[in-house]
A and B are shown apart, each in its own frame.
Chain A
Amino acid sequence: MKPWTVVVAVLAGALALIFAMLDLPAPAFDLLPAVTTHLPASGVEHPVTAVLLNYRAYDTLLEVAVLLLALIGILALGIDADPVAPRPVEAMLSILARLIVPAMIVMAVYLLWAGAHRPGGAFQAAAVLAAGGVLLQLGGLIASWSAPRARLRWSIAGGFLIFLGVALVTGLESTLLQYPMPIAGRLILLIESGLTISLGLILSGLFLLLSRDRKNEAP
């Protein structure tokens, strides 16, 4: 495909979209009042968390399954050994990792807990944990994953299994993922805790499965 053809076509499409967007009529229905009126019954006080883990919990369940599939895809490709010995670890990075990662773990637990009342939740906490995992590997404090063993595999799948378990139990009782109102908040916290650990492992595993170890000896 000639580059100029692509550029002109894409630019024309973008301009058409922009003119359409500037002229857009008001939407037919508004979801925001529906979200806020049922917020006290959902178990949490933050609307985004309520949407993610209560109103659209089924989408979140499928999303965790997609993440698990991506990790399985990377595992299925095979991990090849690095051809050249990698660089040794710098001392500064190792010291930084030792100082910062405990604070990151505390921050992740706080984000998980705060997700009920203010911006936060399982995904943000898992992202911070994954960044901590990457920092630990870059500082030479943990090894890259070459052959994940049973405990690691169970921890990775555990969050999804907890979510699936809650879905099955609620599905067999009344409707799929319809939490009974008195325990909705606690169920959401249980699901989010499992998701934090699992997604943190999955997201850091996306990096740790491919990056090879830094050696600790002098070059």
Chain B
Amino acid sequence: MNLTLAFDLLLAAALLWSGWRSLSTPRLSRAIVMFVSFGLLMTLAWARLQAPDIALAEAAIGAGLTGALLLDTYGALRRRQHQENGA
């Protein structure tokens, strides 16, 4: 097994681990953060698959924009929940 194959296997294992942890963590904020790191690992995977266009798009959209959308929605849900519990 040469070094590049070992790197690819390690990257695949990291992808599977972060994907699974993102869906199985009980705390939602941690799940979103794990999803952002999953997106960054996907960028590395695209670079290894000789797809630099997709790597550029995934870095900006998959990790950045989707992460911002998810965190903003989570914050809005929590604020409204606090307001309803307090009122």
Contacts and interface: CB of A to CB of B under 8 A. Distances in A.
Asked whether any CB of A lies within 8 Å of a CB of B in the complex, the reply is: yes
Interface of A: 48, 82-84, 86, 111, 119-121, 123-124, 127-128, 130-131, 134, 138, 203, 206-207, 210-212
B61 A207 contact: no
9 contacts: A82-B79, A83-B83, A84-B79, A111-B56, A130-B65, A134-B64, A203-B61, A206-B65, A210-B73
Contacts of A48: 53
A124 B56 CA distance: 6
Given A82-B79, A84-B82, A130-B61, A121 B53 contact: yes
A86 B52 CA distance: 38
B8 to A, nearest CB: 16
B27 interface: no
B6 interface: no
Given A82-B76, A83-B80, A119-B52, A134 B65 contact: yes
Interface of B: 52-53, 56-57, 60-61, 64-65, 68-69, 72-73, 76, 79-80, 82-83
B53 A120 contact: yes
Nearest to A85: B79
Given A203-B61, A210-B76, 14 more contacts: A82-B76, A83-B83, A84-B83, A86-B79, A111-B56, A119-B52, A119-B56, A123-B53, A124-B56, A127-B64, A130-B60, A207-B65, A207-B69, A207-B72
